[in-house]
Structure formats: C-alpha cells, structure tokens
Amino acid sequence: MIISKEKIIKRFVSYVSIDTESDPNNSAFPSTEKQWKLARLLEEELIQIGLLDVELDNNCYLMATLPSNLDYDVPTIGFISHIDTSPDFTGKDIKPQIHHDYNGKDIILNKDKNIILSPDYFDDLLQYKGQTIITTDGTTLLGADDKAGITEIVTAVEYLIQNPNVKHGKIRICFTPDEEVGKGAHLFDVDKFGADWAYTMDGSQIGELEFENFNAASAKIIIEGKIVHPGYAKGKMINSILIANEFMEALPKNEVPEKTTNYEGFFHLHDITGSVEKTILEYIIRDHDLDLFNQRKELIQEIGDSINKKYNKELVDINLKDQYFNMKDKILPVMHIVDIAEEAMKDIGVKPLIKAIRGGTDGSQLSFKGLPCPNIFAGGHNFHGRFEYVPVESIVKATEVIIRIAEKVSIKFM
C-alpha cells in the first residue's frame, strides 16, 4: 500500500493549527467551545470522503461508518482518537516546523529563545535519522496527542474507500472530546457505536501496543490554617503552608514520576496554591496493581488523619476520586484482538512493543463500559510539552496498521 507523506503532513498540520485545549475545571461537554471547530471540520471531511452515518452529537462525539465490502459477516471493529489537547501546556497558535531528512543532531526549535530539541537529552530521536520530523517552535505543545491518531484514522478509511480491492468488514470510527481531562469516555455511547471491539490510536512511539494501563485517582488535599499578626502569633497562628510541607514530606520520596518506570506506581503533585490560611495540594495517584493502588489511596488518607491527630484539629480535608482502572482484566478474555494488532504490525514491518501504559486512554474506560479497546501507537514523543515531536513515517505506519487490521479481520473470520 502507498500512503502519501505529503498528504499526511498537510492533513496533520491542518488539524494541529486548530486550538482544542480542554479545561479540567469546566464540567461542560466539551469542556471548551473551541473543540467544536475541529469536530465540525472533521464532520465535513468524513462526509466528503464518503463515510456513512456521520453524526456529531450534542456532546461533541463524532461517529461515522465505513460499510463492509464483504459478502459475509465479520465482527465490526472500531478506531478511536481524541480531539482535545492537554491543558498542561498551551496549544494556542501552534506553529509546526517540518524537518526533512533528520541528521541526528540538535534541532533548533526557537533560535531567539534558545530552545533546542537535542538527542543528547531525548535519545529516542536517534531512531528517526533520515526521516521527516514535525516539531513545535518551542512555545507550544504540538498536538500529536492525539491529532496524529485522527490523521491516521481519517487517512486509513479514505484509503479503504479509494481502494475497494482491499477487503474489510464494517468499521466504526469515533473522535471524542476531553480525553486529556479524563472525561473522554464518560458520555461515549457504546451501544450506538456498535463495535465488537475497538482500538484507540493514542500511543506514543512506533510499535507500541498496550492492553494494560494505570489504575488512577486524584487527590485534592485542602489544609486550613489561621492567620494572626506574626508579632503576636505564638500559640495562635496555624500556617497551612508549613503543614502542607509536612504532608508532602510524609509521602515516599522516590515514588514520583521522575523516579519511576515500567510497572512502578507514583504520587504526582501537579498543582499547589497556598497562603497561611489555606493551602491546596493536588495529586494524581497511579499504580498498575489494584492492591497497591488502594494502598496508595489509604496512605494519603492516613497522613491526613495523622496530621489532624497531631494538632488535635481537623486541619486537613482529603477528597479522593477514582478516575479509571486497569483494562487488563477486560482484555485478557479477548486477547485475540491484541494478537490481530500484533500480527498486523509484523505484516507491515513494524516490531511490536507490547507494554503497559504509564497513563490511561479512552480505551481503559471504554473497556469497562463493554467495549474492549487496546491502544496502538500514534507515533508522537514528549507529549504535553514544548519538546513534543512526531516522525511522519510513524504516522504512515500507524495508518498502514489500521488498514492491515481491517484486512486481517476479514480473513480470520471468513
């Protein structure tokens, strides 16, 4: 199969030029109005390509159908990506830079600001020597998470329509809002989607194939203090900032994202605001093992209770909220859907990298809603920051994986 790199670049750049940053502090669907702009553009594009049942609902979920071209029945499969980009780093006014025939050396993202993407620090770059790499200008994220996935799905279904000799069953696609703020699957209508299983195109480097993910929770710790004139504060002032420091110091020092890997869980303090009277700590809690995950939540609560006991006051209030769970238990009974993806990768010359996700995708929640949904690479690296990049060749290969999965299902269930 021949997938045009030029078409991939043009399509991807058109998507990332639209700001779709989501908002964790807004309960609306979608959490930002600007996500509608890309959703509506995609709606028109899918209609023009020739997909059927193109529907953009009131919550910004866009679904469509590629009908089967077989004369026998096979399972309906789905492919899913998300529209929004992370609120961790700005996605406004993205200026993609295209670097052809990468030479393995430093890439200057922004000369004026001295922002450099270097293989000395990001050594994954070296595996893409000679390829075409798309980066930011160093002032925004890129949005390959997950507009690379959208590019791959749209390009794959367009290819299948234009090449009817490639046999496939019914394919459903969906683009979701608000994945980056943990809500992407909340209002996903699994019954309406109507697939036997699906794949999220939301992984990172080429070859990734994942059916395990973190169990995830958030913890908001509110610490109340008492302000008194510092000259007369002895025995009266309660400095919530110092108590917050006690709380942080009580957590394991090495169980943080920057010191853990593989199946190791962590506590991640991602936001802190404070004054003498009130300090708020916001953590995310992650672990692949459910028992260890529950122990982490218990430890958070125990630390708060211990501080309250120490000061004989209810100073620390903890709000724990589960976010998603490890989809492994839902995938193991249907491991053939992972095997099909693995075989598809091998068929097109991609070495599968089967590993656990140190994060989550819409697929983790969808699996618990009855739609088994492993995760496949979309090709990007260094998501959620200024050093994000994606090799165009990885987007091409992910597109080919989608096409090959569709072919393999038509053969395996003949």
C-alpha distances out from residue 363 to 143, 221, 251, 303, Å = 19, 29, 30, 33
One-letter amino acid at 253 equals K
Please pick, among 19, 21, 23, 84, the residue that the annotation labels catalytic: 84
C-alpha distances out from residue 217 to 156, 225, 227, 300, 330, Å = 35, 26, 32, 11, 19
Q: Is residue 298 annotated as part of the catalytic site, yes or no? A: no
C-alpha distances out from residue 221 to 50, 60, 74, 253, 368, Å = 50, 32, 50, 18, 28
Could you give the dihedral angle defined by the CA atoms of residues 402, 408, 413 and 414, in that order, rounded to the nearest 10 degrees? 120
Helix (H, G, I), strand (E, B) or coil at 139: coil
Identify whether the C-beta of residue 131 lies closer than 8 Å to the C-beta of residue 8: no
CA distance 86 to 388: 12
Identify whether the C-beta of residue 406 lies closer than 8 Å to the C-beta of residue 77: yes
Residue 346 burial (CB count, 10 A): 12
Please pick, among 21, 137, 179, 180, the residue that the annotation labels catalytic: 179
CA distance 166 to 1: 10
**Bridge partners (DSSP) listed for residue 282:** 220, 271
DSSP string, 118-135: -TTT-GGGGGGTTS-EEE
Identify whether the C-beta of residue 152 lies closer than 8 Å to the C-beta of residue 208: no
Q: How many residues does the chain have?
A: 414
**Which residue in this structure is represented by tokens 């853990």?**
260
Q: Is residue 342 annotated as part of the catalytic site, yes or no? A: no
Give which of 78, 282, 267 is closest to 185, Cα–Cα.
78
Residues identified as active-site: 84, 179
